[in-house]
Amino acid sequence: MQVFITRRLPQPALDKILPECDAEVWQDELPPPRDVLLEKARDADGLLTLLTDKIDAALMDAAPRLRVVSNCAVGFDNIDVPAATQRGIVVGNTPGVLTETTADFAFALLLAAARRVVEGDRFTRAGRWKTWGLTVLLGQDVYGATLGLIGLGRIGAAMARRARGFEMRVLYYDPVRREDLENALGLTYADLDTVLRESDFVSIHTPLTPATRHLINAATLAKMKRTAILVNTARGPIVDQAALYAALRDGVIAGAALDVTDPEPIALNDPLLTLENCILAPHIASASIATRTKMAMMAADNLLAGLRGEIPPNCVNPEALRNRR
């Protein structure tokens, strides 16, 4: 069995994979370029990928032996899953293990934006701290404020649990209503407009799909409070970045904290980089040593199961096995 692994993995995951198959690991920090990926996929039975690797129908057609794509991420919008299913290729992902780490970071961004932590650091380093002042870097209270969640999957629910400690009122919008969580966590279900209109903080926890692309745009931003802060740890293209820039510049909303952008990395001439009221992190919400190791171990298990012809323990398209040639 031949496998191509598109980036170096934590050693415990490699120790699992390497004895089982003939694996090549791409050593560069940057993703393999498209032509290299196509060439490596040509003879591969399995690919272990990151969210930076585009796995589309053309690549699958150039890889006649491919039976499993194991993505080391919970999101899998980099993979054309219907095309994989049609071709009998199972796709694995890594849900669950990154939930708490990602929610920690989303909450950290919320707090940092509300209390202007990053601006404060810049202010101090620039020698602008002259004295204690009553109106220096005034922020917004998180305690007792209203949090609006767009998406109530695992990470959205973990965010809601954190908000309870701050005695926040939590509204959520999700196509699937979760009355069990409403009762357990004291959440209120609302339509998207109500969540946008009534929340002091809006945090995005939905996958990127055709329905959620640019869900946050000029029209939806205009529905938010002028004092509101937007947090995005999901996927960059859920937010129309040009519209967000205009909204932050013009005071339509007060601030934003983004762990994800469109594109990634964000272009160095993107106007968002000029704004004081926008925090930009380099897609690190799940980046703890323990969590990244667990993700890689899970991806290894998914890969090996797929190579054995089994449904991976975390598989987004188990029905693909029925289409196997």
Just list the catalytic residues. Answer: 235, 264, 283
| 98 vs 256 by CB, closer to ligand DGY | 98
Which of the ranges 31-39, 69-77, 212-220, 304-312 carries the binding residues for ligand DGY, by CB under 6 A? Answer: 69-77
CB of 259 to ligand DGY, least distance (A): 8
CB of 75 to ligand DGY, least distance (A): 3
Is residue 30 within 8 A of residue 77, CB to CB? The reply is no
Tell which phi-psi region holds residue 217, choosing left (phi > 0), alpha (psi between -120 and 50) or beta.
beta
Distance, CA of 276 to CA of 120 (rounded, Å): 10
| 168 vs 297 by CB, closer to ligand DGY | 297
Half-sphere exposure of 187 (CA within 13 A, CB side): 29
Q: Does 74 bind ligand DGY (CB under 6 A)?
A: yes
Q: Does 316 bind ligand DGY (CB under 6 A)?
A: no
CB of 291 to ligand DGY, least distance (A): 8
Half-sphere exposure of 183 (CA within 13 A, CB side): 2
Q: Which pair of structure tokens corresponds to residue 146?
A: 């209203």
| 67 vs 294 by CB, closer to ligand DGY | 294
Which of the ranges 72-80, 84-92, 122-130, 176-184 carries the binding residues for ligand DGY, by CB under 6 A? Answer: 72-80
3-state secondary structure of 280: strand
Which of the ranges 55-63, 70-78, 108-116, 128-136 carries the binding residues for ligand DGY, by CB under 6 A? Answer: 70-78
Binding mask 271-310 for ligand DGY (x = CB under 6 A): ---------------x------------------------
CB of 98 to ligand DGY, least distance (A): 5
Query: Applying CB under 6 A, what is the total number of residues that bind ligand DGY?
Result: 6
| 2 vs 288 by CB, closer to ligand DGY | 288
Verify cis geometry, omega within 30 degrees of 0, for the bond prior to 263.
yes
Q: Does 120 bind ligand DGY (CB under 6 A)?
A: no
CA dihedral 108, 111, 115, 119 (to 10 degrees): 30
Produce one character per residue of 165-199: b if its CB has 16 or more CB atoms within 10 Å, e if not. Answer: ebebbbbbbbeeebeebbeebebebbebeebbebb
- Would you list the DSSP string of 203-236? EE-----TTTTT-BSHHHHHHS-TT-EEEE-S-G
Q: Does 98 bind ligand DGY (CB under 6 A)?
A: yes
Residue 205, Cβ density class (10 Å: 0-12 exposed, 13-18 middle, ≥19 buried): buried
Q: Does 232 bind ligand DGY (CB under 6 A)?
A: no
Q: Which of residues 5-64 bind ligand DGY (CB under 6 A)?
A: 51
Q: Does 103 bind ligand DGY (CB under 6 A)?
A: no
| 39 vs 264 by CB, closer to ligand DGY | 264
Q: Does 73 bind ligand DGY (CB under 6 A)?
A: yes
Q: Which pair of structure tokens corresponds to residue 290?
A: 């323990």
Provide CB contacts within 8 A for 197, sequence distance 6+. Answer: 223, 224, 225
CB of 205 to ligand DGY, least distance (A): 11
Q: Does 236 bind ligand DGY (CB under 6 A)?
A: no
Is residue 295 within 8 A of residue 73, CB to CB? The reply is yes
| 49 vs 277 by CB, closer to ligand DGY | 49
Residue 263, Cβ density class (10 Å: 0-12 exposed, 13-18 middle, ≥19 buried): exposed
- 268 — phi, psi (to 5°)? -70, -15
Q: Does 75 bind ligand DGY (CB under 6 A)?
A: yes
Note the residues at the interface with ligand DGY (CB under 6 A).
51, 73-75, 98, 286
